[in-house]
Each structure stands twice: as structure tokens, then as C-alpha cells.
Copies of this chain bind each other. A is one copy, B any other.
Amino acid sequence: MSETDTLGIHDVESCLVQSLSYYMALDDNDLRLIEALEKEQTHFARGDVIQPCRTARSSLYAVTSGWLYASLTDADGRRQITRVFHPGDVVGLSDLSLGLSSCDLVAAGDVVVCPFPRQGLAPILETAPRLSALLFALSARDQAIHMDLIRAIGCLSAVERVGFMLLTWLMRLRMTGDPVETTIRCPMTQTEMGDLIGLTNVSVSKALSTLESEGYLKRDANTLTLLEVDELIAVTRFEDRYGELDTTWFPES
């Protein structure tokens, strides 16, 4: 199931450093603080519950590789996925205010994460105002992403919702990868996709077929290639939240 190792990470460029420095220059103190968060790595396999719902004082995680998601399952079996995380993301900011975690964290594929306790944030807040501001901004961006999802589920048709989901993933993957990429290697099943955007697996299947027949999409195994990105953006009224981060209000370094 899972395995913990204590390998140093100094030989590889830290995924969290890469992700955070995308937005802001990090000084030596920032780097040391971030490194402290990533000193432990844990592996999970597809379907593993990384952290169950209602965990007390839940951990935070920096994602090193793979996809994972936060989900909530009702007593009657209905499941809602509220957020999908990719390498470089910080997981768990949304539960910081809660004594018990609000979601299951589930590995969507094979995953490597670096868990760290909430107390790991205290030294950052005390000694690194700019890094604190960056984490604050990332928490804010998570909110913007949630609001976009609310709009998608509340306002868009089934086909539009699926297109929206694919665009969200593409723009996120472009942030830490090739900025003109059009292909997504997606480890999630159609049932999981449906649980994310409020549809059944059947509707997802039909929507993907429709997108394909209308020329927006090419499929091959679990690889999805978007063919008409700009048009899809227009149809779904998609807004990219990953491209830029406003840092003008941050404290001076």
C-alpha cells in the first residue's frame, strides 16, 4: 500500500520549490523552510486512501508525482470529488481551519507525496512574510478554482462540463510543463470524472463521444488530446487561473 523512505531530496529539484518559484523568487530562508516540509516521501497506489475523512488534525501534502483527489461519499453512495491535485500542488489547505478533515484524499493513480504537519506552517508565518503571502495567495487561488467548478456544475450542460474539466487539467499541466501542450494523460475513470462535475459515468461517456465526433477531442487509451482549445475556451467560458498570480500586495523582501 504505502511506503515511507527517508531519501534526501537534494539530488532532485524539489517539485514544491519548482512550483512555488514559478511565481516568486525564493530566498535562502524560504528554501530551507520548504525543504523542511519535504523531508519525508510516501508512495501510494491507485485507489489508496491517503487520508480518510474526519482525520483529526489532518496533514498537509506536497505532491511530487501523480494525481490525487479530495472526495466526499454520502451514506447512500453518491460521491462528490471537490478538487483534483497535480504535481507541485499543496494539498490540505482547505482543511486547515477544521479539527476533522472534510474529505477523503484518494490516489487517482500511482502517487508520491510529501506529508507534513500543520505545525510546519508556524515557522513560515513567523519568519517568512513573503512566503506566507505566497501560500495565502495559493489558498486564494484554490478558492477561485472552486468557484469556477461551482459555476460549471451549476450553469453548464453535460458536454460543456466535460470540456471545462479537460481545459482545467490542461491549463494546470501547462503551468508546470510544456506551455503549449494539448495532450492529457489522465489516470481518472469516467466514473471519477462524473463525480467531479456532477454527472454519471454514462453521461461522461456520451459527452466524450460527442466532443470527439464534433472534432474537439481525440482519444487513445487514457490519453486525451484537445484539438480546438480556443474554441472550447469560448464555448465553456473558461478562465485560466494558473497563468498568473498577483504578487503586488506581498510584503517587501
Contact = CB atoms under 8 A, between A and B. Distances in A.
Contact of A150 (B132, B138, B146): B146
B248 A122 contact: no
Contacts of A119: 249
A2 interface: no
A174 interface: no
B129 A97 contact: no
Most buried by B among A79, A119, A142, A237: A142
Nearest to A149: B150
A7 B198 CA distance: 48
Nearest to A245: B97
Contact of A136 (B130, B135, B154, B237): B135
Contacts of A118: 246, 248-249
A36 interface: no
B80 A151 contact: yes
Contacts of A195: 154
B143 A142 contact: yes
B198 A95 contact: no
B150 A96 contact: no
B151 A150 contact: no
Interface in A97-148: 97-99, 102-103, 117-119, 121-123, 125-126, 129-130, 132-133, 135-144, 146-148
Given A98-B144, A123-B251, A129-B132, 15 more contacts: A72-B151, A82-B150, A94-B143, A96-B137, A98-B241, A102-B148, A122-B251, A125-B136, A126-B251, A132-B132, A139-B143, A146-B150, A149-B150, A150-B150, A154-B198
Interface of A: 57, 70, 72, 74-75, 78-80, 82-83, 93-99, 102-103, 117-119, 121-123, 125-126, 129-130, 132-133, 135-144, 146-151, 153-155, 195, 197-198, 237, 239, 241, 244-246, 248-252
